[in-house]
Amino acid sequence: MRSKNEILQELRTMLRDVFHARSEGAAYASLARAHGYVDGYMRALLESGAIPREELLAVVSQEREAACPSTSAFLSA
């Protein structure tokens, strides 16, 4: 079984890939597929109780901020 740190690192990698693909203007189908993978992964983490919801949201916020600082500042205002 993977450690919590390994799980969170995998999630961070997946999120970075999605945010990068979006910023690069990836095709809708591939972007939708990537979003689906991330959503499914996060849902599995939540339903299994491996990671609390607040911690997942914090990871998503941190990665969004790192990938798109101006968008994140706008959304949090």
**19-77, pLDDT tens digit by residue?**
998 888 889 998 999 999 999 999 999 999 999 999 999 999 999 988 876 654 555 55
Name 15's Cβ contacts closer than 8 Å, sequence gap at least 6: 38, 59, 60, 63, 64, 67
pTM value surpassing 0.85: no
Give the chain's end-to-end CA distance (angstroms, integer). Answer: 39
Cβ atoms 13, 21 nearer than 8 A: no
**45: burial class by Cβ within 10 Å (0-12, 13-18, 19+)?**
buried
Torsion of CA 31, 10, 76, 73, to 10 degrees: -80
